[in-house]
Structure 1
Amino acid sequence: MDSTAEDGEGTGRRLRELRRARGLKQQDLASDDVSVSYVSLIESGKRTPSAAVVALLAERLGCTPGYLLTGQDDTRTRELELKAAFADLSLHNGAHGEALQAFSEVLASAPVLPDALVRRVRLGQALALERLGRLEAAVQAFTLLYEDPSCVAGSAEWSLLATALCRCHHALGDQVLSVETGERALRRLDRLGLDATDDHLQLGAALVDCYRTRGDLARARLLADRLTRIADDRGGRTAQRDIYWNAALVARSQGRTDEALALAERARALLAESDHVRHHALLRQVHGTLLLDAAPADPERAHRLLEHAHAQLVEVGTALEQATAQTALASACLRLERAGDAQVHAAKALGLLGEEPRAEAALARAVLARAQFDAGEDAQGEKTLRTAAQHLRELPPARSSAAAWRRIADIWQQRGQAAEAAAAYQQALADAGLPGLVSEPAHP
């Protein structure tokens, strides 16, 4: 009679689960010594395989006999844990493609791994997808983790996932869903009555950015002020940095440039104590653009910061982040009267952004058009500017598109083309939520 250290039911269940996870059929496990019908009987728990049969099946499945018998495979688990750790390191260092591949390879062995490790790897996979710009896939992966019953509301993992979903919907241009996601999560935290943690504060910081992008600057400032008080009182340095960073962006959007610079400097001082290369680069980029807006502007220092930021983002940033850095460099070059360099940077930004209409591409085209005008290429400049306007018309109203319309309008005005400037200014106001009066028929 066949015998093992465990009853056949558990062994059969693991055999079936692992076979399906490997994409194999029962006949793929069959051999001269093990028939298809015998494999079926084992999987149904009606037969308990001998040690020799277990060894044969384990070899075909790529696991140890111990796993099939007991569900434990410490050696294999340690190997996969090490691989997951290297994937985490790759993600931290900006090797997003390498990290995604490693996470995916670990997940191929999910049936033999502890649940906690599987969730950690799935989270790493989702983060890698986001960094690679595969946002739809990232949203799907984050949502599966967020809606899993084992994800406890208010926990660090729950807050991280809520923040990631808020951030991804924002990046996809769905400002309604990004705000709804952030607000719903914050309301749930308020109902739970938990003390604010860094994870909760970072969720709030993401929502501040969503409000800002949507053009709801009053609400963005109110939330930023509230979070700043909490962070200063009991927040960690990471949370303080993120809140100061987003508060600086809100201040810049409201024209409070000096305050924005002060907040950006505070964020940079906090970031200097960390080794997160991507965050360093993004904050340098924000600081550089603030210096271009300051009165008086400091284009030389801004250009140095933006060059440094771009060099780092080439290694660790997403395509969108790299494109934004190129557009900012192009703007700095315009201030330095280097129209040729500005054209090169703006063209590279457009290459990274692709052909789909988006506000970032319209802004890059506006900067490119200005550089073309400065270089005496008037016909090409007008063509570029009109292309930017055409793409903006295909986008839903948002603060980001309003900012691009404003840039286009300013350029038309500088060119002395009043009708085009007026139309662009009107569109900027409409996209910012300030449409003109509806014309009424004259009274007879």
Structure 2
Amino acid sequence: MEQARSGAGSIGQRLRELRQKKGLNQQDLASADLSVSYVSLIETGKRAPSEAVLRTLAERVGCSVEYLRTGRDDAKVHELELKIAFGDMAVRNGANGEALQSYSEALASAPFLGETMLRRARIGQALAMEKLGRLEAAIQLLTPLFEDPGTVPGSAEWSQLAVALCRCHRNVGDLTLSVEIGERAMRTLEALGLDVTDDHMQIGSTLISCYHRRGDLTKARLLADRLMGVADETGSRVARGVVYWNAATLAYSQGRHKEALALTERALALLAETDNSRHQAMLKIVYGYLVLENETPDLEHLKTTLEGAHLVLLEVGTATEQARSEALLAQVELRRGEPQQALAHAGRSLGLLRNDSQQEVARARVLLARAQFQSGETAAAQASLESAVRQLEPLPITRVTAQVWRDAGDLWKLLGRPAEALEAYERALTQLGIRAMPAPAEQFVIDRG
């Protein structure tokens, strides 16, 4: 009798948990042949249900009879594990919408999942949301996972979460928090005294990009130099390639153009033999920006290279990566004297950035305005530029926004609007820390009348 009571109690506990998870009350489980009071007795372990009642209850709470009776359902668990594995594969292949759906379907049956598979599905769901541009939702999912006491500092999973959180906060524009997360992660690794792994190199590389975005170029260069030394000694080709990639971006922002180009070429060579086509394509975009800095770039070869990279990103890249690829192709077409093609690329770039940071959108609007101007659409160019300026005005100071202000100033000058051009140039200089001299005191103003 006691053994039967124990088994019944387990059934009742599972029934109650599943009912509450689906937002049902006991009345929802009742029927003409199954009273509310009998449902209550089952949930409290005071009655052992018959097979017929088990089948009815299992159907109403959405589980198998086997799970309700024993807490196990091997067929259901296998089905969910396949969904999670499909989600992992879809993320790698750039099918982020399909991945999100697969992870979400698995998580809808969370009681059937063990802790390991449950965490895997939650992390996958967060990463898929990030790649779909749903950054704030991704942060809400990643934060409790990263702060969970069960997440072991220094583990591959911990490193993956640290990188993703750092990257998400960076991309929504919260540079202070992104740097704080990256620095805390690096300090944790140093305190643990662990050997450097590719995962740890990824944290450092992401932190370099955050420093760079915030304008902390000295910190970024010191960390880049340190990581390049470690990567050459211990890192894989992927880790070394990513470190050289970030170092190239930093060198470019500091005006070391030849060094940036050499570092990018080295990174391309390191990643060429890997199977990460997305990283290769993204790096070719970086390479394209650097090549365009030359006075006489081989535009036809560059266009072919970038179109190939763009096709890859259309398959496996995020919307933001595709937008940057479109923007670069627009710049190439402007240099080739093909403003209509540039206009098409710039329009698509802007359309892809609906969920991205405002500085990215402002930069895309300035490029669109340039394409409109070169296409003879002066009024449209002025309207696009005015929209870009409105978006730029409230943004925090970064080197990126300074460059966009400079580009806006150049275009205002071409449009014959010197007052707006001057204001844009002044904003660019101010954001770079170069401020105007204070106005003289009134008694020292010379009367030239």
Matched-pair identity in %: 54
Structure 2 CA distance for aligned equivalents of residues 381 and 49 of structure 1: 74
2:308 aligned partner, one-letter code: H
For these two proteins, the number of residue pairs brought into alignment is 444
What is the deviation of 1:130? 0.8
Q: Given the alignment of the two structures, is residue 17 of structure 1 paired with residue 17 of structure 2, yes or no?
A: yes
Contact 2:66 2:73 in 1 (8 A): yes
Moved more, 65-74 or 132-141: 65-74
Superposed, which structure 2 residues align to 1:164-243 within 5 Å?
164-243=164-243
Superposed, which structure 2 residues align to 1:9-88 within 5 Å?
9-88=9-88
What is the deviation of 1:110? 0.4
Structure 1 CA distance for aligned equivalents of residues 193 and 442 of structure 2: 58
Rate the CA distance shift 1:6–1:284 in 2: closer, same or farther, 3 A.
farther
Structure 1 CA distance for aligned equivalents of residues 65 and 384 of structure 2: 66
Contact 1:4 1:50 in 2 (8 A): no
Paired position in structure 2 for 1:143: 143
1:161 aligned partner, one-letter code: L
Q: Aligned with 1:226: secondary structure?
A: helix
Moved more, 14-23 or 96-105: 14-23
1:233 aligned partner, one-letter code: E
TM-score, normalization: structure 1? 0.92
Paired position in structure 2 for 1:408: 408
Q: Given the alignment of the two structures, is residue 319 of structure 1 paired with residue 295 of structure 2, yes or no?
A: no
Structure 1 CA distance for aligned equivalents of residues 92 and 332 of structure 2: 29
Structure 1 CA distance for aligned equivalents of residues 9 and 274 of structure 2: 51
Q: Aligned with 1:63: secondary structure?
A: coil
Q: Aligned with 1:57: secondary structure?
A: helix
Q: Aligned with 2:274: secondary structure?
A: coil
Paired position in structure 2 for 1:250: 250
Structure 2 CA distance for aligned equivalents of residues 141 and 323 of structure 1: 25
Rate the CA distance shift 1:423–1:3 in 2: closer, same or farther, 3 A.
same
What is the deviation of 1:431? 2.1
Structure 1 CA distance for aligned equivalents of residues 384 and 103 of structure 2: 42
TM-score, normalization: structure 2? 0.91
2:285 aligned partner, one-letter code: Q
What is the deviation of 1:381? 3.0
Unaligned runs of 5+ in 1: none
Structure 2 CA distance for aligned equivalents of residues 23 and 236 of structure 1: 49
Structure 2 CA distance for aligned equivalents of residues 440 and 195 of structure 1: 59
Contact 2:333 2:339 in 1 (8 A): yes
Q: Aligned with 1:7: secondary structure?
A: helix
2:434 aligned partner, one-letter code: L
Q: Aligned with 2:166: secondary structure?
A: helix
Structure 1 CA distance for aligned equivalents of residues 37 and 395 of structure 2: 60
What is the deviation of 1:185? 1.6
Structure 2 CA distance for aligned equivalents of residues 350 and 110 of structure 1: 39
Structure 1 CA distance for aligned equivalents of residues 357 and 227 of structure 2: 34
Contact 2:132 2:319 in 1 (8 A): yes
Rate the CA distance shift 1:229–1:347 in 2: closer, same or farther, 3 A.
same
Moved more, 336-345 or 366-375: 366-375
Structure 2 CA distance for aligned equivalents of residues 387 and 55 of structure 1: 61
Structure 1 CA distance for aligned equivalents of residues 104 and 53 of structure 2: 30
Structure 1 CA distance for aligned equivalents of residues 63 and 357 of structure 2: 49
Contact 1:127 1:138 in 2 (8 A): yes
Contact 1:429 1:435 in 2 (8 A): yes
